[in-house]
Chains A and B, each alone.
Chain A
Amino acid sequence: MADLISKFTKLSLKEVSSAKDSLFPELSAEQKALSSQFQTLSTRLDEDESLIALNNALRTQTFIAGNVPSKADLVVFEKALPVASKWSSTDDLAKYRHIIRWADLIQNTFVEVPQEEQLKVNHNIELPREIK
C-alpha cells in the first residue's frame, strides 16, 4: 500500500472522472459494493443521512472501499470537497471528523487540489469525544 501511495502520480480534479480503475488494486465483491454504494451516495451529499453513512464507514476504514484505495475515493472526494470546505463550526467538524481525515488523506496522496480549493484542516482544534 505504501508503495502504491508513494509511486502514485497525483491526478488533477479535472482528471478524476476519467481516471481508470486499473490505477488501483483489484477489488473484491464487498469492496466493489462499498465503492458503488458511496459513489451513489456522493450524489446526495445534501442529505444528512448520506454524510452520516460516509462518516460512519470511514470511522473503521481508511478508504471508501475498505482498506484499499480505489477510484471511488477520487469520485467521492470530488463531490465531498466543496461540502466539507464549508464546515467551520465545532459541531460539524466533530460530526464529520472521519470524512475530514479521509479527505485530507486523499488531497495529500491522490488528487492535486489547487491551494485555494484545498480543505484546510486545523489539527489543533479540540473536538469533543466521539459518541459511538
Chain B
Amino acid sequence: MSVELYADKGSNLSALVANLKLSIAASVYQPKLAVVVPEEDTTAVLKDKKSGFELVEANAAVKYLGSDFDDNKTALDLEENELYKAIKTNSAEKVGSVKIPTVFTKAATTPSQIILFSALYPALKEFKASDSELTQWFSDFAAIEKVSAGIKHALSITKLERAKEQN
C-alpha cells in the first residue's frame, strides 16, 4: 500500500481527536503504516502517492482503512454532529456534557468504535470503568492492545496546549 497518513499539527482537542482516529486505525488495520507529522502544510490526512488519491477528513480515512463505510450510523451521526461541535469549542468539559446513549455493549475495533472512542477521549480518559456502561466500554476499548498502541502514538505526535487555569 502506497498510502501515507498525516497528523494534524494543531495543539487543540480537534487535532488530538483527529490524530487518535488516524493512529488507532493505522495500528488496527495497517500496522506497518505510521501517522507522520507532515513537514509541509497540507490539508490531506491520507494520501496515496501512487494514484494521487487523497482524503482530508479523518472519519472517511478511518472508514477507508477499515473498508467499512456504515457499520453504526447512530454512533457516526452522534460523533459527526453533537460531539464534533463540542470538540470544536476545545473544552473537554463540553465534550463530557454531551449525552451519549449506550451505542456499544462490546468493545470491537470497527471504524465507528474507533471514531466515537477518539471523540470521547478528551472527556472520558480520567473516568473509571465502573462509572457507567459507557465508561466500561471506553475502558475495554482502550485496553485492546492495538488501540493502546495507537493512543500512545497519537499522544506522542500531538502537542496539546495546557488548559488555562480558571480562577
Contacts and interface: CB of A to CB of B under 8 A. Distances in A.
Contacts of B61: 33
**Range for the number of chain A residues in contact with chain B:** 10 to 19
A37 B57 contact: yes
Interface residues of B, number: 16
Contacts of B59: 36-37, 40
B81 interface: yes
B67 A37 contact: no
Nearest to A41: B57
Contact of B43 (A35, A36, A49): A49
Contact of A37 (B51, B55, B81, B84): B55
Interface in B68-103: 69, 80-81, 84
A108 B69 CA distance: 29
A40 B56 contact: no
B90 to A, nearest CB: 15
Contact of B80 (A34, A35, A40): A40
A10 interface: no
Contacts of A9: none
A33 B60 contact: yes
Q: Among A34, A37, A43, which residue has the most Cβ atoms of chain B within 10 A?
A: A37
B55 A34 contact: yes
Interface of B: 43, 51, 53, 55-57, 59-61, 63-64, 67, 69, 80-81, 84
The 6 nearest A-B residue pairs measured at CB: A37-B60, A33-B64, A37-B57, A36-B60, A33-B60, A32-B69
Given A33-B55, A33-B61, 10 more contacts: A29-B64, A30-B64, A32-B63, A34-B60, A37-B55, A37-B57, A37-B59, A37-B60, A43-B80, A53-B43
